[in-house]
Amino acid sequence: MKLVVKYLKPFGFALLIGFIIKVAGTLVELALPSILSHMVDHVVPDNAPAGNLTPVFIWGGIMILCATAALVLNIVANRMAARVAKNAARALRHDLFAKTMRLSPRQTDRFGIPELETRLTSDTYNIHHFLGMIQRIGVRAPILLIGGIAVSYFLDWRLATVMVCLLPFIGISVFYISRRGVPLYSASQKAGDDMVRVVREDIGGIRVIKALSKKEYERDRFDRVNRALVKNEKRASLTMALTNPLITILLNAGLVAVVLVGAFLVNVELTEQGKIISFIQYFTLISNAMIVINRIFIMSTKCIASANRIERVLDAPTELEPEDGGLPLPTKDHIVFENVSFSYNGEQNDLENISFSLPRGGTLGIIGATGSGKSTLLRLLLRNYDPDKGKIYIDGKNIRGMSHEELCAMFGTAMQNDFVYADTVRENICFGREVSDEALSLALQVAQAQEFVSAFPEGVEHELTSKGTNVSGGQRQRLLIARALAGNPEILILDDASSALDYKTDAALRRDLRLHFANTTTVVVAQRVSSVMHADLILVLDEGRIIGKGNHEQLLENCPVYREIRDSQMGGALLD
């Protein structure tokens, strides 16, 4: 619960004021049964027979004033509690989202996107709900419990003792049941993560699912995770639900004992009827307080489980921080890979002994079969991961020694399946950056997107849907390339970003890049030889190794794999 305390600290003054108001309202409420007892035992017997009802009305008015005061004070305290809970939860979600954005790709893979989503939604909601409840009823219930017991002893210690003898049994039962609840709720939340993962996959691939008539298959897959979630939630709920009937049975047994003992004491004139009535009211308050405290225990188990999950994200160590990059590499080349090897799982290398250099303004083409390591090489260049061996230099500086902001400012990237969000064309290209109209227009022109964007009635103010479903695949790719170019990057990365473009548009894109971004170093990952054949340097990758390196003509002569790819795609004999 350290996490909860941490986010409540900034609101300490508001918590203190709300606590004082809540205590005052609860104490006033606690006085009502004593006032009623005084009226029944003294005010009514002393004045009603003589026909003097003024004292009765006075004490009745006092009860009404006390009830009104308790109502007003509780409303004010509850509103303050809601405000504190809202602000604390908002701060928690802000920090959790910011931390999620700073996680390294390796950490994101480890947590999983569905789990991060549920931590930001369900887990923060559980904490929000708990914070509000603990301020509203978490203050009131203990005061009613302790104050009710104290006043009950003041009224009649014998009856109070009968009631208090039950409380240890209730406390022990709640404690042991709650201890079992925390791991059960953790398992339930993990099952919720699995369901979110399946839902995300199905929504993302809904068109493929329908095209392949796999709706029944996916419905069965969802049903399995849904049943697992229900099973885990049922186990947790049934375990925690034992507390309510158990407490009710014990309290009702105590109430019967109190009534029996009270009747005996009244019969032998050791107590008064008004005290019995007052005592039953206090017993009801104490019973309700115990039930509320039980609810707090139930919610606290959810809160603890959620807080533990959130803490694991917030406490995740910061990775990929700037390090000592060593001495600069004496080179005029813009990008240098020096004997780079990397493995995702730490067992088998996904890239092995990658070495090449590329001058500023040059173009690097990377081609190879699926799974050959093309995208992995880009992730290392962007420092999404650090290589296990070797070094990567930009302008002679080891990228390990660069800050995240310095490194990212150099790049413009366009991936094949990059995301488009629901906003205008302008906002999707500018992407929160200060981009002038001239730079925006040039980016659209070079990306071969100017023509179709101008055809929209609103132009660059045309609204795109989420994932860009209201434009074609080729248009979406051109918008993504325009986004990469809008910041005038030093290094442009195109990861299969022109796969949906026709050959004519692809050729026009390469021509305009050379014309308007001559000083920009370009890295192109592609499946088509036509997209890389004009590059200054082409790497042919196979299972993480370079099996061919050179320009188009050199590879045709020296690399059989490249020549085979060229022949299969372009009819190489005709071009020769």
Helix (H/G/I), strand (E/B), else coil: 170: helix
Percentage of residues in the chain having pLDDT higher than 70: 93
Q: Would you say residue 575 has pLDDT above 60?
A: no
Tokens of 543: 């299972």
Q: Is residue 88 part of a domain?
A: yes
CATH number at residue 174: 1.20.1560.10
Q: Is residue 559 part of a domain?
A: no
pLDDT at 273: 65
Q: Which of 13-17, 239-243, 352-356, 481-485 has the lowest mean pLDDT?
A: 239-243
Q: Is residue 212 part of a domain?
A: yes
pLDDT at 576: 45
Q: Is residue 340 part of a domain?
A: no
Q: Is residue 363 part of a domain?
A: no
**Helical packing angle, 215-241 and 243-267, nearest 10°:** 20
Q: Would you say residue 421 has pLDDT above 90?
A: no
pLDDT at 540: 92
Count of structural domains within the chain? 1
Which tens digit of pLDDT belongs to each residue from 267-322? 776 766 667 777 777 777 777 777 777 777 777 777 888 888 899 999 988 887 88
Strand 351-359: give its sheet, edge to edge. 351-359, 333-342, 389-394, 397-398
**Residue with token string 């918590």:** 15
Residue 416 φ then ψ, to 5°: -60, -45
Q: Is residue 545 part of a domain?
A: no
Distance of CA 448 to the CA centre of its chain: 37
Length of the chain: 576
Beta partners for 382?
Answer: none
Which tens digit of pLDDT belongs to each residue from 133-162? 888 887 888 887 788 778 777 777 777 787
Q: Is residue 336 part of a domain?
A: no
CA distance 375 to 105: 13
CA distance 282 to 150: 10
The whole domain housing 307 covers 2-314
Q: Is residue 345 part of a domain?
A: no
Per DSSP bridges, beta strands 397-398 and 411-415 are unpaired
